[in-house]
Amino acid sequence: MLVALIVNPHATKVSERLRRDVAQALAAEHKVEVYPTGHPGHGGALARRAVDGGAELVAVLGGDGTVNEVVNGLRGTAVPLGLLGGGKTNVFARGLGLPADAPRACNRLLELVRAGTSRRVSLGSANGRAFTFGAGLGLDGAIVREVERRRRARQLFGDPAYVAAGLKTLFLGYDREHPHLKVQRTGGKPSVTGFFALVSNGDPFTYLGRRPFRPTPAATWEGGLDVLVGQTMSAAAITRALTGMLSPRPRATYPKFPVLHDEQCFVLESDVPLAFQLDGEYLGDYARIAFELEQSALTVVAPSPARAAGGQDGR
């Protein structure tokens, strides 16, 4: 099998030695071509080039942002995706029951390829760009924007950066008085108004360390899109909801945080531009985002849903 290994050399946990070790492990069983990314957005172009060159599997060593780029490059093809970890959080891989640690992820990928095991999953699309696990308009986007600012300023790293950014955004940097956002739904369904929205393509939405954050626990990787709408900015209500969403048994919904389940097509609109994040990357401020479900759009080398739920350890 011809395997295209797309590597982000600047990903959080990727080193030249790790790249070499992973490439050698894959090459012990398959022909491997290595494609290092050189700039933001490069992963998609490399994925298309690899497919045009006859790749039968495109494997990614990098974070969720690199995975997103590669997935957008693979859209419309039958070439499967392999996930090798290498980023800070690796939400998509861990959500599918795969290791985030690159050496273990490489061994698991080889095992699954030998067994011929793969999984067909759906993707979300936001203004035409695919996403694998989630998007957020409003508070979530503003937190990601602040995290990226802190990283550039080298103020904080890792999970403390998210906690600090979340507290600053919630109490100092967000309009807590006016619910600017509206979810416009199709098929005669009523619209829903709120302060912010989270859009999930699967469960969990992200991780805080080893702990999954599950605001939409009924979401599945094969189903529709779930939308949580934040209808209050009360610190007490948000704290109660967050505590539940981080617990081992989260509820399907919480007061003032309704969840729209298995949506196929909808629009998030705001009367002012709000911060928008997609698969953990801040993309700018938007007043309108059109979402669609892309059913069974991607093949991933991953265990079946039952095995993934039973074998996921979060690392």
3-state secondary structure of 122: strand
43-78: b (≥16 Cβ within 10 Å) or e: bbbbbbebbeeebbbbbbbbbbbbbbbbbbbbbebe
Helices within 28-153 (DSSP H only): 42-52, 64-74, 91-95, 102-115, 139-152
Query: How high is the pLDDT of residue 147?
Result: 82
Query: How high is the pLDDT of residue 313?
Result: 45
Query: pLDDT (tens digit, 9 = 90+) per residue, 19-57?
Result: 999 999 999 999 999 999 999 999 999 999 999 999 999
Query: pLDDT (tens digit, 9 = 90+) per residue, 240-266?
Result: 999 999 999 999 999 999 999 999 999
Residue ranges in the chain modelled with pLDDT below 50: 313-315
Query: How high is the pLDDT of residue 158?
Result: 61
Cα–Cα dist 226/198, whole Å: 8
Cα–Cα dist 198/227, whole Å: 6
Query: Domain segments of the chain: what residues?
Result: 2-117, 129-295
C-beta neighbour count of 313 within 10 angstroms: 11
Query: How high is the pLDDT of residue 19?
Result: 96
Among 3.10.150.10, 2.60.200.40, 1.10.540.10, 3.40.190.10, name the CATH number for the domain at 129-295: 2.60.200.40
One DSSP character per residue, 222-253 reads SS-EEEEEE----HHHHHHHHHHHTSSS--S-
Query: pLDDT (tens digit, 9 = 90+) per residue, 64-79?
Result: 999 999 999 999 899 9
Among 1.10.357.10, 3.40.50.720, 3.40.50.300, 3.40.50.10330, name the CATH number for the domain at 2-117: 3.40.50.10330
Strand 2-7 and strand 57-62: the pairing is parallel
- CA-closest candidate to residue 137, choices 183, 186, 177: 183
Cα–Cα dist 252/214, whole Å: 9
